[in-house]
């Protein structure tokens, strides 16, 4: 039995090619997630005096739509088994749950909201870095996903360390994060589109 065969059996359906196939098949959903993030970031800058309630509802709408897009990609992905798409499913569930919590508890306190957003960002960031590691041998643009994950983790850590910063600073921080993360998501989506066309 060859070592290559053994390695592929150990990797199972969670290997890079399977994950790449699931992502490339739904590149346009990743692009939509990026557009939603940028739209949310722009709204945060257009309304710098936004109230905490409005910010909570806007953020809830963003995470809910992001989660729905990720879940759709996980459910409708073609080719391969469902297992490699669990990663997208977890990202989707995290987004949907975060959005629902924001809508069901819009009166969340000024201190709790940044901590809640920080927790979501760190979870999403860790999953994105993991996905990038799985893709590192399959696609040249995997660093975009890794960078997006690192950005999410850094954003979450900053909010965790400074949860009591002023409301305006929180809005601007969230706005910049959303725009940068959205831009990286769109860039990765078009890189995945190119990969799909080459296959």
How far, in whole angstroms, is CA 45 from its chain's centroid? 21
Q: What is the pLDDT of residue 62?
A: 83
**Is the residue at 7 inside a domain?**
no
151 confidence band (pLDDT: 50, 70, 90): very high
Which CATH number characterizes residue 28's domain?
1.25.40
Q: What is the pLDDT of residue 20?
A: 67
The total number of structural domains that make up the chain: 1
**Is the residue at 2 inside a domain?**
no
Domain containing residue 184: 14-198
- The predicted model scores a pTM of 0.67
Exposed, middle or buried by CB within 10 Å (0-12, 13-18, 19+), for 56?
Answer: buried
Beta strands in the chain (DSSP E): none
CA distance 67 to 90: 9
**Is the residue at 4 inside a domain?**
no
Q: What is the pLDDT of residue 50?
A: 67
**Is the residue at 131 inside a domain?**
yes
**Is the residue at 8 inside a domain?**
no
Single out the residue of 170, 190, 194 nearest to residue 59, CA to CA. 170
**Is the residue at 159 inside a domain?**
yes
**Is the residue at 194 inside a domain?**
yes
CA distance 180 to 158: 16
Q: What is the pLDDT of residue 21?
A: 67
* Mean per-residue pLDDT, 142-165: 83
Question: pLDDT tens, 42-85?
Answer: 888 887 666 667 777 888 888 888 888 888 877 776 544 444 56
**Is the residue at 101 inside a domain?**
yes
Exposed, middle or buried by CB within 10 Å (0-12, 13-18, 19+), for 182?
Answer: buried
């Amino acid at each position: 039995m060859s070592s290559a065969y053994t390695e592929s059996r150990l990797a199972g359906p969670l290997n890079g090619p399977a994950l790449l196939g699931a992502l490339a098949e739904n590149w346009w959903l990743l692009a939509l997630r990026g557009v939603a993030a940028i739209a949310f970031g722009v709204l945060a800058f257009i309304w710098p005096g936004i109230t905490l309630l409005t910010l909570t509802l806007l953020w809830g709408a963003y995470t809910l739509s992001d989660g729905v897009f990720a879940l759709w990609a996980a459910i409708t992905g073609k080719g391969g088994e469902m297992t490699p798409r669990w990663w997208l499913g977890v990202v989707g569930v995290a987004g949907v749950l975060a959005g629902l919590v924001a809508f069901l508890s819009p009166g969340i306190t000024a201190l709790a909201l940044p901590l809640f957003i920080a927790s979501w960002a760190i979870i999403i960031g860790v999953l994105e870095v993991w996905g990038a590691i799985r893709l590192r041998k399959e696609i040249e643009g995997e660093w975009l996903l890794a960078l997006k994950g690192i950005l999410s983790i850094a954003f979450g850590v900053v909010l965790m360390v400074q949860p009591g910063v002023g409301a305006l600073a929180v809005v601007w921080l969230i706005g910049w994060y959303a725009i940068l993360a959205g831009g990286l998501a769109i860039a990765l989506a078009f890189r995945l589109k190119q990969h799909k066309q080459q296959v």
